[in-house]
Chains A and B, each alone.
Chain A
Amino acid sequence: MYLSNKAQLFSLDIMLALVPLTIALGISANAMSGVVNQMQEYSDAYHMRRMAIDAADVIVKTAGTPEDWESNNSPSIVGLAVFDTASNRTEPNKLDINKIENMSGAYLADLLAGEFSYYNLSIYPINASADVSWFENVSWSGGSRADKKDIVVVERFAYLENGTNTTFVGVRLEVGR
């Protein structure tokens, strides 16, 4: 068989070899594109979760601004924790029953800064064995949950007392968009 001495860079063989290489690169590019989209979704979900967690932190661990907003003011930032005026300090994860009674959905919407088209905050007693008839579930919400693609739920725990009545409560914040 005759053998040519010319280079074979553009031969049929290399063209055939490029076929699987091109397929592999195509798959890689597609996968890369998918990863970018995936990372975008993760980033959005993370951002949403982060906001919900931070909002729940503010509600459970701070007394709000001003600290005595429940008595005579609308809060610029709402928080439900007890503020001990004697020691001048907030008691994190210890909720003030007066603040709960004065809480409203509008305050919650302000705290969430319009980031979510749906939100729901509920507080419910946990102690199954204790008598918690003095405190019933309370909730504040805005928007409709039905058509939301992404929903994030954050659940926290706190302590609540009203005179001699005490209970542990769950604080559940649900947001969606």
Chain B
Amino acid sequence: MSKGNGFIFTMDAIIALVPVFIIVASVSTPGTADSIALQSQFLGDMRKGNDILVSMSAGDAFDTANSSAVNETLGSLIPPNLGYNFTMTYDLNGTESLEIFNLSRGNMSEAESVMEAEQVGLYWTQEIVDDVHMVSHNAFNESASCAGDAESGNATYNMTVYVSSADMAEYDYYFVVDKDDTGSLAAWVQTCQFPFCTPDNDGCEDISWSDITIPKFDSSVSYNMSKYYFSKNYLYPDSVNYVYVKVTGSGEYADFYVMKALKKMDEDFVDPETARNPQVVFVSLKIWREE
């Protein structure tokens, strides 16, 4: 039985308002403009990131081990109101990777959203500076020994290596011997500042053949490659270095290399085969706007 009161505030009316509110809420779509503006800004930053990577690649800006130079270029290209993180990594063997650059500005944790541009590029993590190939011990002993050069005034077999101070700060230099097959072979190396060496090693500072003897090769070992790390004492910065090689053995042949590799790279990964071509690296640039 009805009490005779109006029912405008009854449960019926309240229930009836539910679909009304749903309709109103669904058509008013608050925040659409903001979300579209944010999306547009995000896409704009993405294009910016891709442009920067492609432009830097076109300008050979990655072809340096000097991280401050790369950072300076990034700093000039990326507007100051944006933070960034730039990384370049090289896959060493499928399981290990070498981080060549990791440069940042700003604080990524304070970013509302982070845009990432990626690129695959080429980079010299290690490089052959000079080489001589298929040299037998006989040829060396006969014509390229220091005593022999003193008479002729020239060395027949040598490698010419220019080492800049900047490169010396970023790279390690190695003398690498890659013997072709088994057998006993020993090699010696000497660096000089002049394109000849003399019996008493004038012009070659204190270095002598015996000072930096490459480990003798032995048929019992399973590998044919040996590396010698040139310490700073044996290379003259901002100067041409003449690297002389002498071998003794039982008629074996070998290839000799002077190589440079990033200081971050473990000596085990220094390999002339890898160093013949630029290595594939993965480049990533993250850009963000901080709150």
Contacts and interface: CB of A to CB of B under 8 A. Distances in A.
A159 B55 contact: yes
Interface stretch (B16-24, B153-161, B262-270): B16-24
A38 B55 contact: no
Given A168-B76, A168-B77, A28 B55 contact: no
Contacts of A155: 48
A126 B73 CA distance: 10
B76 A127 contact: yes
Size range of the interface on B? 20 to 34
A145 interface: no
Contacts of A24: 17, 20, 23-24
A142 B161 CA distance: 56
Given A159-B58, A159-B59, A28 B36 contact: no
A93 B56 CA distance: 9
> Which residue among A16, A38, A126, A156 has the maximum number of chain B CB atoms within 10 Å of its CB?
A156
Interface of B is mostly: helix
Contacts of B221: none
A1 B54 CA distance: 87
A168 B48 contact: no
Contact of B55 (A20, A129, A168): A168
B4 interface: yes
A60 to B, nearest CB: 7
A7 interface: no
A38 B33 contact: yes
Interface of A: 1, 3, 13, 16-17, 20-21, 24-25, 27-28, 31-32, 35, 38, 42, 49, 53, 60, 91-94, 126-129, 155-159, 161, 166, 168
28 contacts: A1-B4, A3-B1, A3-B4, A13-B8, A17-B7, A17-B16, A21-B20, A24-B24, A28-B23, A31-B24, A31-B27, A35-B29, A38-B32, A93-B51, A93-B55, A93-B58, A94-B59, A126-B76, A127-B73, A129-B72, A155-B48, A156-B47, A156-B51, A157-B55, A158-B55, A159-B56, A168-B73, A168-B77
